[in-house]
Amino acid sequence: SRFTTFDNRKWQTNQVTYRIENYTPDMSVAEVDNSIERALQVWAKVSPLRFTRIYSGTADIMISFGTRNHGDSYPFDGPDGTLAHAFSPGPDIEGDAHFDDDEYFTFSSTRGYNLFLVAAHELGHSLGLSHSNDPGALMYPVYSYTDPSTFSLPRDDVNGIQYIYGPNPDV
Amino acid sequence: LPISPPTEEDEVLAETYLKRFFNLTEETGPTARRGPSQRSRKVSEMQTFFGLQVTGTLDAETVTMMKKPRCGVPDVQP
């Protein structure tokens, strides 16, 4: 239970929709799309969750970039510090992921903050995971760069998502 | 070397950090006067979470951890 939120939030279906509401100027649209898609596949690979992108209306997971006061009760803090946040599963703002656009997000560079890594962490929250105190876990609260091209989900995170949703039935 | 006390800036940073991530609240009522302060207890809770030496005080490694870029979701549940 250490993996879940205090109220054990989870999606009641394994078919989850997402929508990218806007984009950061730091990267191309294709790079943002690719980063988000790969971040979701990190979780799909080890669980029964399947993600479908929609381009209008309200998705389960609404993904957006904003700065300072950006429409919820948790303002961002400018460069560095807090990079992003996300809400556990549920209606409306629940499940959504917000990225602080005062950060410099990157696709593959070690400069700035790698969007794929930050998104994979935040989407873990959008699926119901809380923070891990395992420094090697993706769900550890502090950012650390690892090469996205060789990224493999740490065991602690696999245990967490499978505690909530079970294993991937397709493997 | 003598340990340098935390700066005013570190104190403000710590207060904001502990409120945001470890549910530090304004101390009121009897708990405000008894035993280690809530602030000290919350520093210890943060040090325990991150595997730091648990001192309950704003030592250098604790302040360093508080300055690292991170996710904005709290580390403890309400």
A134, A156 contact by CB (below 8 A)? yes
Closest chain B residue to A131 measured between Cα atoms?
Answer: B75
ipTM: 0.96
Q: Once rounded to an integer, what is the mean pLDDT over residues A96-118?
A: 97
Measured distance CA(B69)–CA(A33) in Å, rounded: 23
The answer on pLDDT for B61 being more than 80 is yes
The answer on pLDDT for A67 being more than 80 is yes
pLDDT band at A3 (very low <50, low <70, confident <90, very high): confident
Q: Once rounded to an integer, what is the mean pLDDT over residues A63-74?
A: 98
Using a CB-CB distance cutoff of 8 angstroms, which residues of chain A are in contact with residue B69? 80-83, 103, 113, 142-143
pLDDT band at A2 (very low <50, low <70, confident <90, very high): confident
Element (H, E) at A51: strand A50-53
Q: What is the pLDDT of residues B1-50, one digit of tens each?
A: 556 778 889 999 999 999 999 999 976 555 555 557 899 999 999 999 99
Closest chain B residue to A130 measured between Cα atoms?
Answer: B75
Closest CA to A63 of A105, A109, A2, A4: A105
A75, A69 contact by CB (below 8 A)? yes
A138, A154 contact by CB (below 8 A)? yes
Measured distance CA(B41)–CA(A106) in Å, rounded: 38
Contact yes or no for A142 and B51 at CB 8 A: no
Q: What is the pLDDT of residues A45-61, one digit of tens each?
A: 999 999 999 999 999 99
pLDDT value of residue A101: 98
pLDDT value of residue B78: 79
> Judging by DSSP bridges, how do beta strands A105-106 and A113-114 pair with one another?
parallel
> Is A122 one of the annotated active-site residues of the chain?
yes
Contact yes or no for A130 and B73 at CB 8 A: yes
> Chain centroid to CA A37: how far?
10
pLDDT value of residue B34: 53
